[in-house]
């Protein structure tokens, strides 16, 4: 018997904000439990606001909000407001981003991300305790000092718990940190192969949980594979080629090679990286072969995919991303898949 999955969907990072409310209402009508909103082209908090305002049941998670360009207080204020506005449906997913983006795109000084993220999450929790439980605000760390909260600026307590905090992580330090201080880990598409989760991700989460005396079973794990699915085999084949193209792009980046190493494919990543440096874009598509797709991408028609996902992840997590159809005409078929995943059958 497979678990009763909580099923979330995502949205295209380039979707105009004007389309987010309709997308969120569609996800809710289909039966999704939640929606992940990215932060790449648009502000993640703005997208979350629109999605929450347009729905009544759907949970909305930032996946993931870039933390370090924002102070913990700025993030806490926005998260608190979204939690109150939505009746407790907001989930705060945080990420660190890579050095080049932090320093050259956001113009923020770089420091080792895991220690800084530990402080960031601890600071958020201190703020939330101040607002919800009446504690004095007194957080003093290396990166953040938060010791002032006048009554004029202090929001009212929530009727719901403070927002859950999740971390996006790939490397050993950030993955373990998710187990130590957060409510769960939001995976990257490159670290969702079942073997990699079982042999690498789960042990790292367990090590982090042990540092803070937590039961790793209480640490959530959102698995977001690049799933290739559709109505007919031809649709699945087309989506599979889209996955191949995405993995070609992702695995040209050294940060994502650890999940190649465990399968003996690191040289594929090195080859892709060299091809990008030489500008040989047309030669990249042949590097990701079918064996790699079979390893990293759950693949099957709508009639098959619920069983495949349960087989891949049923003993690893009960929280999964499943793609919303590109064509709304296929929504009824996708809704049947959601019903099966959520029913554990």
Cα distances (angstroms) measured from residue 115 to each of 142, 177, 221, 239, 344: 9, 9, 21, 39, 38
* Predicted confidence (pLDDT) per residue in 53-68, tens digit: 999 999 999 999 999 9
Which domains are delineated in the chain? 6-232+299-343 (3.20.20.30), 233-297 (no CATH)
Angle (CA) 246-252-258 rounded to 5° is: 100
**Given this model, what pLDDT does residue 345 score?**
63
Cα gap 185→305, rounded to integer Å:
24
Cα gap 189→27, rounded to integer Å:
21
Evaluate the omega torsion of the peptide bond into residue 240 and state whether it is cis, within 30 degrees of 0.
Answer: no
CB contact at 8 A, 62 and 48: yes
The closest of 213, 223, 144, 152 to 179, measured between CA atoms, is 213
DSSP 159: S
**Given this model, what pLDDT does residue 3 score?**
79
* Predicted confidence (pLDDT) per residue in 293-343, tens digit: 999 999 999 999 999 999 999 999 999 999 999 999 999 999 999 999 999
The mean pLDDT values, 10 residues at a time, for the chain of 345 residues are: 88 96 98 97 98 98 97 98 98 94 95 97 98 95 97 97 97 97 96 97 98 96 97 97 95 92 96 94 91 97 97 97 96 97 85
* Predicted confidence (pLDDT) per residue in 105-133, tens digit: 999 999 999 999 999 999 999 999 999 99
CA atoms within 13 A on the CB side of 128: 23
β-strand partners of 220: 184
Global model pTM greater than 0.85: yes
**Given this model, what pLDDT does residue 242 score?**
95
Cα gap 168→194, rounded to integer Å:
18
- Which residues are CB-neighbours of 207 under 8 A, at least 6 positions away? 176, 179
């Amino acid at each position: 018997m497979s678990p009763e999955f909580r099923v979330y969907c995502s949205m295209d990072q380039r979707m105009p904000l004007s389309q987010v409310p309709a997308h969120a209402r569609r996800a809710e009508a289909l039966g999704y439990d939640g929606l992940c909103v990215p932060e790449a082209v648009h502000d993640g908090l703005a997208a979350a606001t629109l999605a929450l305002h347009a729905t009544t049941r759907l949970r909305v998670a930032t996946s993931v909000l870039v933390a370090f360009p924002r102070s913990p207080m700025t993030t806490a204020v926005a998260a608190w407001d979204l939690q109150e506005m939505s009746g407790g449906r907001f989930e705060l997913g945080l990420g660190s981003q890579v050095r080049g983006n932090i320093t050259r795109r956001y113009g923020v000084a770089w420091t080792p991300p895991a220690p800084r993220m530990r402080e960031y999450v601890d600071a958020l929790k201190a703020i939330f305790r101040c607002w919800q439980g009446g504690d004095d605000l007194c957080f003093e760390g290396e990166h953040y000092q938060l010791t002032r909260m006048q009554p004029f600026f202090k929001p009212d307590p929530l009727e719901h718990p403070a927002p859950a905090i999740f971390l996006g992580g790939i490397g050993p330090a950030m993955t373990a940190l998710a187990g130590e201080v957060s409510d769960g880990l939001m995976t990257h598409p490159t670290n969702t192969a079942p073997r990699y989760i079982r042999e690498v991700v789960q042990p790292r989460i367990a090590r982090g949980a042990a540092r803070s005396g937590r039961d790793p079973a209480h640490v959530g794990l959102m698995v977001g594979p690049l799933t290739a699915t559709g109505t007919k085999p031809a649709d699945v084949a087309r989506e599979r080629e889209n996955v191949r193209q995405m993995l070609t792009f992702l695995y040209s980046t050294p940060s994502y090679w650890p999940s190649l190493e465990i399968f003996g494919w690191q040289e594929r990543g090195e080859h892709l990286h060299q091809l990008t440096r030489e500008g040989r874009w047309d030669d990249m598509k042949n590097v990701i072969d079918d064996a790699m797709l079979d390893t990293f991408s759950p693949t099957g028609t709508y009639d098959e995919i619920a069983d495949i996902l349960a087989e891949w992840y049923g003993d690893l997590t009960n929280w999964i991303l499943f793609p919303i159809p590109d064509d709304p005409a296929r929504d009824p078929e996708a809704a049947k898949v959601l019903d099966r995943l959520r029913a554990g059958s």
